[in-house]
Structure 1
Amino acid sequence: MSHNLDLAQNHAWDLARTLMVPVILFQSEDAFGVMVASEYDGDEDSIVHEYDPWSPAH
């Protein structure tokens, strides 16, 4: 978990490109987390952004 949104966004995009799967950047209280989109079963309102490595723009 990270408390820095910019850092979390960079790590999320890097993880998506490394694994070549969509990942979810989510907020939990005052921290941000990243996980594979297919495994995320949390609150939809907690999602900050989904990073898809196959999308032409992130």
Structure 2
Amino acid sequence: MSQNLNLAQENAFNLARTLMVPVVLFQVDDAFGVMVSSEYDGDEDTIVHEYDPWSPAH
């Protein structure tokens, strides 16, 4: 696992827990992004993972 992916995953999980809303971690080329799931309208194939703070398994 790359260091950038690991950092992106930690930040996505923390953001979901802080905002208490589901967020998606997505990748475009070599960059990662995180945004609220309900606002994501990008390509489904770019989603790495969705973090839901209300789900017992993340």
| Superposition TM-score, scaled by structure 2 size | 0.93
Counterpart amino acid of 1:13? F
Question: What are the equivalent positions in structure 2 for 1:7-22 lying under 5 Å apart?
Answer: 7-22=7-22
Counterpart amino acid of 1:41? D
Counterpart amino acid of 1:25? L
Counterpart amino acid of 1:37? S
Kindly report structure 1 stretches of 4+ aligned residues shifted beyond 4 Å.
none
Q: Gapped runs of 5+ residues in structure 2?
A: none
Q: Distance in 1 between matches of 2:23 and 2:8?
A: 12
Secondary structure of the residue that 2:9 maps to in structure 1?
helix
Q: Percent identity?
A: 80
Q: Distance in 1 between matches of 2:13 and 2:7?
A: 10
Q: Distance in 2 between matches of 1:56 and 1:16?
A: 13
- 1:57 offset after TM fit, Å? 1.5
Which position in structure 1 is the counterpart of 2:50? 50
Report how many aligned residue pairs link the two structures: 56
| Superposition TM-score, scaled by structure 1 size | 0.93
Which position in structure 2 is the counterpart of 1:24? 24
